[in-house]
Amino acid sequence: MGGLAAIVVIIFFKTPENAKPTKATFKEKLLQLDLVGAALMMGLIVTYILALQYGGQTHPWRSSQVIGLLIGFVAIVATFVAWEIFQKERAMIVKRLVCCDYMRTRRRYADMHLAYSS
């Protein structure tokens, strides 16, 4: 089903003129990808999941492996935040989208929903 839908979209979809991307050099396109931010994000997710997986199951919570993974997670998060601030508009998570009013409202709604649903 999904393959058929993809074929139909590829054949029949035409991009509107006002939605076409502006011309950019290959270097500019690479800079827009934020590969460093993506690598940091993957690293912090992996260290966090490994710490939670090891903690209490494979290793005790006080083991050096679990504590090292948690410290590594915090260090990578700090590096990721610093990198995103440094990148400004080229960042993977742009500050102007995270700090706007409607995002704060959505976060509050999600927090209240989670608090009252359990």
The domain ranges of the chain are 27-108
Whether the full predicted model's pTM is greater than 0.75, yes or no, is: no
pLDDT at 78 (0 to 100): 97
- Taking CA atoms, 63 is separated from 3, 80, 105, 108, in Å, by 47, 26, 40, 36
**Most confidently modeled of 60-64, 92-96, 98-102?**
60-64
pLDDT tens track for 48-89? 999 999 998 889 999 999 999 999 999 999 999 999 999 888
